[in-house]
Amino acid sequence: MAKRLFKKYPILDYILISFGSAAMAMGIGVFLVEARVVPGGVSGLSMAVHYLSNNTIPVGLMIWVFNLPLYLWGLKELGKQFGIRTFYGFTLSSFFIDFFRGDIPGFSFIRLHESQTVLDLYKNDFLFLILIGAVLLGIGLGIIFKFRGTTGGSDIVAAIMQKRLGVKPGQAIMFIDLFVISLAGIIIQVKDLSPDRPALSLTLYALFLLFVSSKLVDVIIDGFDYARAVYIISDKAQEIADSILTNLSRGATALKARGLYRNIDREVIFTVITLKDMSKLTELIKDIDPDAFVIVNNVHEVLGEGFRRRI
């Protein structure tokens, strides 16, 4: 029902992309810029320019300036798939970064990065400061991607490299991020922008930031694993299936198969259960057939009776 609602009212996509852009901008503009920990990509490159200019060039403005030619290049090379949602995504995130930092004319009083809470975290709990920035960045990007938006930047470059050179997008983005993080580290070292912490330490923090935020992007898009798909190969398959139906109140399917080692026909039991029932199933199988061969897979989504739907 939720999917039909978003399809019928695409304006809801843009509302959620706006929310994701604000969360992403909060993570970058409030928590990461002053910490000198760059997230890679166009955002990290813009932060590097910000540092080179002695903090006079706004980060959000530079993100927009860098993204505009990349966006036009993407339209030329890849067509309309980099359309209005991409422009909307990187424009809004650029605006929010400068808005939260008080760099938008008329809003200089905001400056959230100078709040007492952020300053206290910077001084007394730097790792937690970076973790908050990583979480906000990951959640924001995840929401933007989930509702078919993008923030441009390295996404466009990666797509063009895939088309032109056959480079996998994940590898291209990783290369770009590592290059930008290294460049920012060199700038911080040369200009001595972080006397309290070595540039190498900040680079390691940046790699930690990338890991956390990328995992959160996956979680937002795919959801937490909330079920397990289980294949059970046993000489007592029927007894195990009956126990699943009776004791766990879950359905099961018998798949016809042939064991090549012993060259005999047999049934493989397949079932999908919730995480809380996994330990019960394990004990159930162990009691019936300790020698059973069990394969367990993570499940992100199940549509059907007994399982909740995702958006």
Give the distance from CA 266 to its chain's centroid: 42
Residue 118's contacts (CB-CB under 8 Å, 6 or more residues apart) are 30, 31, 34, 112, 129
Report whether pLDDT(1) > 60. Answer: no
- Which tens digits make up the pLDDT trace of 244-260? 988 888 889 999 988 88
- What pLDDT score was predicted for residue 58? 95
Tell me the pTM.
0.75
Mean pLDDT on 51-66? 92
For 298, the 3-state DSSP assignment is strand
Q: Where are the domains of the chain?
A: 2-222, 227-299
Q: Is the dihedral of CA 60, 66, 11, 303 positive or negative?
A: negative
Residue 208's contacts (CB-CB under 8 Å, 6 or more residues apart) are 130, 134
Residue with tokens 């029927």: 238
- What pLDDT score was predicted for residue 169? 60
Q: Measure the CA–CA gap between 45 and 87, rounded to whole angstroms.
A: 19
- What pLDDT score was predicted for residue 166? 75
Q: Measure the CA–CA gap between 246 and 251, rounded to whole angstroms.
A: 9
pLDDT category at 30 given cuts 50, 70, 90 is very high
pLDDT category at 187 given cuts 50, 70, 90 is confident
Q: Measure the CA–CA gap between 14 and 127, rounded to whole angstroms.
A: 33
- Which tens digits make up the pLDDT trace of 67-118? 998 888 878 776 665 678 888 889 999 999 999 999 999 998 999 999 999 9
Residue with tokens 């490299």: 161
Percentages helix, strand, coil for the chain, rounded to the nearest 5? 65, 10, 25
Please state the φ and ψ torsions of residue 111, each to the nearest 5 degrees: 40, 60
CATH number assigned to the domain covering 227-299: 3.30.70.120
Instruction: Report how many helices (DSSP H) and strands (DSSP E) the chain contains, helices first.
Output: 12, 4
Q: Measure the CA–CA gap between 151 and 293, rounded to whole angstroms.
A: 46
